[in-house]
Amino acid sequence: MSEKPQVKSSPSFFNNPRNRSIIYQLLLLFGLGYFFYSIISNTLANMEARGIQSGYDFLFNTAGFDILMSLIPYDATNTYGRTFIVGLLNTVLVSIIGIILSTMVGFIMGVAHFSHNLLIRKLATAYVETFRNIPLLLQIFFWYFAVLAALPSARQSMSLGEVIFLNVRGLYFPGLTPEGGASVVYAAIAAAIIGIFVLKRWAKKRQDDTGQQFPVLWVSLGMLFGLPLLALIVMGFPFAWDIPYLKGFNFRGGITVIPELMALALALTVYTGAFIAEAVRAGIQAVPHGQTEAARSIGLKEGKIMKLIIVPQAMRVIVPLLNSEYQSLVKNSTLATAIGYPDLFTVFVGTTLNQTGQAIEIVFMTMAVYFVVNMTISFLMNRLNSSVALTER
């Protein structure tokens, strides 16, 4: 006779904790999906009922308005979609300038806090306390309507050697128009950059093997300037100067930095710089003093102590703080709209939204942009963070 083997009865399907949790997750997902689906479809139905246009077709329509500054060719005959790109690039530009300059200012001011010179120390404190505590919008207005607006008119510009001009309309400096042979110069620049990387790796390897140091910095600088210079001389300076000149009301030619960009970049730099200075100070303070003493006792020079002992350890504290400062800077750049710098917010949420009336689509696109930009910053900073993080051996 055959007897079925006794199976140990397993808990019923619904009592299995794994299955349960999967079911709950699915239910939640379904609920959320339904929630958003009904909000979106209801919004669309209501917009339709009220005669409000919706959809993304407007991106292909002619914009019909001009934009003060654009990094890509743009005029009023281009599309609304292009106004999005123009605004986006202007936002990226002012953010990059702001991030680079505020980092420089912040590190200088943060380190200045530990200076042996009382005046420098006080100055650093005064800087941080002043600019951290004044609302950013007020600072933007200050630079724009008080400082830059006080510059002379175009006809009475200040000038540097009659090639660089500064007036209430902006900063004008000569541009370079490439001519035949310019590509050789570009190639030389690229070669120099690649050369520097190779040199660095070689020098590190040499130091690891033999203990001998190589003056990487000076040789690199020499390459960076020397190679392009050589190319310039060989090719007989294959560029034409495009020097700004006054015609009618304004300067033409050359490169113009509009005062709106100057004011916004300045305000963002000075404001964010104050926060970064605090982050740097906190980072340095977090390194125990014993580290410095130990470094001194083995005979390292002060500069080397900073570079090899303090900064690498301080960075572990500083980098996460920098991440959030950079993200705030990008978000704060939307205050551009107060002085008319044509960033994404001014151009797209400002003018484009008004001309098309498609508020929901435009605000959605813009939010997505700031989200993506800040996620990118986060990603890069997290990578930097893991490269400075403590590696246990």
Partner 1 sequence: MKRLTSVIATGLALGLSFGAQAGTLEDVQKRGSVSCGVSTGLAGFSQKDENGTWSGLDVDVCRSVAAAVLGDASKVQYKPLTAKERFTALQSGEIDILSRNTTWTHTRDTSLGLNFAGVNYYDGQGFMVSKDLGVSSALDLDGAAVCIQAGTTTELNLADYFRANGITYNAITFDTSDQTRAGFESGRCDVLTSDQSQLYALRIGLKDPSSAMVLPEVISKEPLGPVVRQGDDQWFNIVKWSVYAMVEAEFMGINSANADQAKSQGNPGQQRLMGVDTDSGEKMGISNDWAYNIVKQVGNYGESFERNVGQGSPLKISRGLNAQWNKGGIMYSSPVR
The stretch among 36-44, 209-217, 282-290, 314-322 that binds partner 1 (CB under 8 A) is 36-44
Residues 6 or more apart in contact with residue 74 via CB below 8 angstroms: 67, 82, 83, 86
C-beta pairs of 58-64 under 8 Å, 24+ apart in sequence: 58/356, 58/358, 58/361, 59/84, 61/356, 63/352, 63/355, 64/355
Tell me which of 80, 346, 365, 377 binds partner 1, using CB under 8 A.
Answer: 346
Residue among 159, 292, 324, 355 that touches partner 1 (CB under 8 A): 355
Q: What is the DSSP string of 91-155?
A: HHHHHHHHHHHHHHHHHHHHHHTT-S-HHHHHHHHHHHHHHHHS-HHHHHHIIIIIIGGGSPPGG
| Sign of CA pseudo-dihedral 89, 94, 97, 102 | negative
User: How many whole angstroms separate alpha carbon 281 and alpha carbon 126?
Assistant: 14
Q: Which of residues 361-380 bind partner 1 (CB under 8 A)?
A: 363
In the complex, minimum distance from the CB of residue 253 to partner 1, in angstroms, rounded to a whole number: 12
Contact with partner 1 (CB under 8 A) among 56, 145, 241, 245: 145
Does 354 bind partner 1 (CB under 8 A)? Our answer is yes
Q: To the nearest whole angstrom, how small is the minimum distance from the Cβ of residue 133 to partner 1?
A: 21
Minimum CB distance to partner 1, residue 142 (Å) = 13
Place of tokens 């993080």: 389
Q: Site for partner 1 (CB under 8 A): which residue of 19, 42, 207, 386?
A: 42
CB of 255 to partner 1, least distance (A): 15
Should residue 333 be labelled a site residue for partner 1 when binding is judged by CB under 8 A? no
Helix/strand/coil for 299: coil
List the beta bridge partners of residue 255. 173
Which stretches of the chain bind partner 1, using CB under 8 A? Answer: 39-40, 42-43, 46-47, 49-53, 64-68, 76-77, 145, 149-150, 153, 168-169, 247-250, 252, 259-260, 337-340, 342, 346, 349-351, 353-357, 359-360, 363
